[in-house]
Amino acid sequence: MVAAQGETKPFTLVRAIPDDVFVCATGHYNPERQFLYDYWSDVADAFFASGITEDVLGLLTTQLDEQQRAEFDRIWDRFGGICRSIDWEQLDRGEFVFAERMTVFSGGSANVRGAFPNIVVMVRADESASNYTGLVEMFEAAADEINGLSGSNVLRVVESEKYDAEIHSVNLLGSVPGAPSMEFALTRRGDVIVFSLGGELLEDVLARLADDSAGGRLADDPRFVSAFQQLPEAEDSMVFFDMQNMLRPLEQMFRSIALRARGPGDVTRNTGLNAKASQKNAEALNAYLHGEYQQAYELANAARELEPRDSLVLYNLACFSALVGKRNDALDWLEKAVEAGFYAPSKIASDSDLASLRGDPRFEELVSRAAELARLHSARDIVVNSSRTSEAYRITTQGWQACDRGEYEEALKLAEQALALAPDDPRPRYLAACAHARLGHADQALGDLRKAVDAGFYCPQHISDDPDLASVRERPEYAQALEAARRGAAAHGADDTDTYESLFLNLMTRIMRSARVVDCIAAVEYTEGYTTHQDSIAMLAPDAADDPLYSVFVRGGTV
């Protein structure tokens, strides 16, 4: 067992794991289990000897033409050769550890925060670099093949050094505009090889491998120590699951969603308008992620020249301008981005790339302007002061059916009949506007459209997309009516926000509270002769007895 704080022999790699991961599993080769390894090795040998893999490959390649088959064979041979150069058994026989941390990220240009996994897998190999060299070769070959298939440099392998470790990494989402960084890396430090997804956990692990005095280690956590002290000694493997560390980031995410409901939220319009501009923008983001701000600025400017209306390109240009010290230019580009459709007040206000602009009155005005536009453009369509059970509604429905048949004169007559019964109802008034527009009566159409909006037809999305109004879209009165509809929808949508937020937070709080009854779970595995054993323990939170679910855990037992 883990007899004292910090003692995790023979699992030495777990000492490098920080105490904020939510799951950690570690194990090592145990000669006592050789009979199991031999058994499964025989099963694997029999499987491959059966010819099933060749049959499956044959089925998969039957639809390929001669050129495609040749390309498939080339790739198969390339990776097969690399795989044969790696001593997989040596990697498998070493000590290993898997750990995952849940982190919260802000999703690019949107005011939505998500829980994103941060993973490390460590294996203790030999001191030679042969296996690591083979793994890096496979890594670079995969990136090379993907870049070849895509026709662009979407994956860029970067070599670096940190904490006496050599690192080969690639941002898997580097070519996706506005996406958070998803860094996959291969790392070697001495006899330890690390596979990682997400850079933050890798950084923390390397720091603890390099410095024995570094604190915040999972192996020193009192809860970790206490759980394993109550279990038999872990000979083969040990697993620790921390419910609190899993739920904490999720709770942050749910609160962020609720805050989005309270505020206007972030909205982006007019993005991805030009494929070449989007590709150039992706290259700019890739340069930015590697700290090459001047190159990012130049690439973003090239993207803007290709498509000057793209709000995301303009926003990135503002960020890169700020990073290279072009403060006034950054404000100019930010203003253009907001007016072009980057209605993202939360992103703008919190973006560290724009830190040098904060405090400038013009910057604060742009945040307010973005919030105002986001509120207008994110509001849902709503119709007020109209009944779906009235005779006027029945007649209006007949009018829409006439419109669908192209009988616009008939539709106009039915709209007038409905208005005679309910002169303040916005639905028949909107029908009249559409019928007039189809008949070429522009002035009457625009007059009825504004009356419909003023009466409660707050449907900016529907008005924007309605082909019946195509003939009047260029008139200023149309734009004024659409703006009024947006303001009406925003005003009425805000009335429901506090109720939705309260219900959502109450539901999530109850779910989180119930889940937190379990504090942590620990499990060990050990071998005696030809028998393997697994023991586990679930530790309840100190205040578990206060939760209604407590009785479920203690039913039939004693806590």
For the domain that residue 390 is a member of, what is the CATH number?
Answer: 1.25.40.10
- Co-location of 407 and 357 in the same domain: no
Name residues whose C-beta falls within 8 Å of residue 191's C-beta, 6 or more positions apart in sequence. Answer: 124, 125, 126, 127
From 20-34, 177-191, 503-517, the region with the lowest mean pLDDT: 503-517
pLDDT score of 289: 75
Q: Is the peptide bond before 10 cis (omega within 30 degrees of 0)?
A: yes
pLDDT score of 484: 92
Residue 134 domain flag:
no
- The two structure tokens encoding residue 43: 């099963």
- Co-location of 392 and 485 in the same domain: yes
Does the structure show a pLDDT above 50 at 108?
A: no
Say how far apart CA 531 and CA 526 lie, in whole Å. Answer: 9
The most confident of 167-171, 246-250, 288-292, 509-513, by mean pLDDT: 167-171
- Co-location of 317 and 299 in the same domain: yes
pLDDT, tens digit, 9 for 90 and up, residues 48-67? 889 888 888 888 788 888 88
Which residue did the predictor score with more confidence, 248 or 222?
Answer: 222
Give the H or E element holding residue 22. none
Q: What letter represents residue 246's amino acid?
A: M
What mean pLDDT is predicted for residues 465-493?
89
Say how far apart CA 557 and CA 510 lie, in whole Å. Answer: 25
Residue 194 domain flag:
no
What number of other Cβ atoms are within 10 A of residue 362's Cβ? 12
Residue 352 domain flag:
yes
**Bridge partners of residue 452, in order along the sequence:** none
Counting Cβ atoms within 10 Å, is residue 101 exposed (0-12), middle (13-18) or buried (19+)? buried
Name residues whose C-beta falls within 8 Å of residue 498's C-beta, 6 or more positions apart in sequence. Answer: 262
From 28-37, 42-51, 437-446, 521-530, the region with the lowest mean pLDDT: 28-37
pLDDT score of 128: 62
Residue 389 domain flag:
yes
- Co-location of 288 and 371 in the same domain: yes
- Co-location of 374 and 386 in the same domain: no
- Co-location of 322 and 347 in the same domain: yes
The residue from 449, 469, 493 where one domain ends is 493
What mean pLDDT is predicted for residues 504-517?
70
Does the structure show a pLDDT above 90 at 548?
A: no
- The two structure tokens encoding residue 474: 């260029």
The boundaries of the domain holding residue 353 are 267-378
pLDDT, tens digit, 9 for 90 and up, residues 360-383? 889 989 998 888 888 777 667 888
pLDDT score of 559: 40
Which residue did the predictor score with more confidence, 227 or 91?
Answer: 227
pLDDT score of 19: 93
Say how far apart CA 66 and CA 58 lie, in whole Å. Answer: 14
280: helix, coil or strand?
helix
pLDDT score of 425: 95
Residue 277 domain flag:
yes
Residue 530 domain flag:
no
- Co-location of 370 and 322 in the same domain: yes
Which residue did the predictor score with more confidence, 290 or 207?
Answer: 207
Which residue did the predictor score with more confidence, 109 or 244?
Answer: 244
The residue from 493, 508, 523 where one domain ends is 493
**Helix ranges (DSSP H) in 62-182:** 66-84, 88-93, 130-150
Among residues 319, 269, 323, 265, which one has the least CA distance to residue 294?
323
Residue 388 domain flag:
yes
Domains: count for the chain: 2
Average pLDDT for the chain = 84
Does the structure show a pLDDT above 60 at 16?
A: yes
Task: Return the percentage of the chain with pLDDT > 70, whole number.
Answer: 86
Q: What is the CA radius of gyration of the chain?
A: 31
Among residues 246, 266, 267, 271, which one has the least CA distance to residue 256?
266
**Got the DSSP string for 429-467?**
HHHHHHHHHHHT-HHHHHHHHHHHHHHTEE-HHHHHH-G
CA pseudo-torsion sign 487, 489, 490, 492: positive
Axis crossing angle, helix 391-404 with helix 426-439, rounded to the nearest 10? 20
pLDDT score of 198: 84
Does the structure show a pLDDT above 70 at 257?
A: no
pLDDT score of 443: 96
- Co-location of 386 and 486 in the same domain: yes
pLDDT, tens digit, 9 for 90 and up, residues 411-437? 999 999 999 999 999 999 999 999 999
The most confident of 76-90, 95-109, 228-242, 509-523, by mean pLDDT: 228-242
- Co-location of 323 and 403 in the same domain: no
φ/ψ bin of 178: left (φ > 0), alpha (ψ from -120 to 50), beta (otherwise)? left
Query: pTM for this one?
Result: 0.59
The residue from 336, 358, 378 where one domain ends is 378
What mean pLDDT is predicted for residues 506-532?
81
pLDDT, tens digit, 9 for 90 and up, residues 116-135? 678 999 998 766 677 888 88
Counting Cβ atoms within 10 Å, is residue 234 exposed (0-12), middle (13-18) or buried (19+)? buried
Say how far apart CA 271 and CA 473 lie, in whole Å. Answer: 22
pLDDT score of 287: 83
Maximum CA extent, the chain = 93
- Co-location of 341 and 387 in the same domain: no
- Co-location of 474 and 390 in the same domain: yes
Residue 331 domain flag:
yes
- Co-location of 301 and 392 in the same domain: no
pLDDT score of 2: 41
Does the structure show a pLDDT above 80 at 215?
A: yes
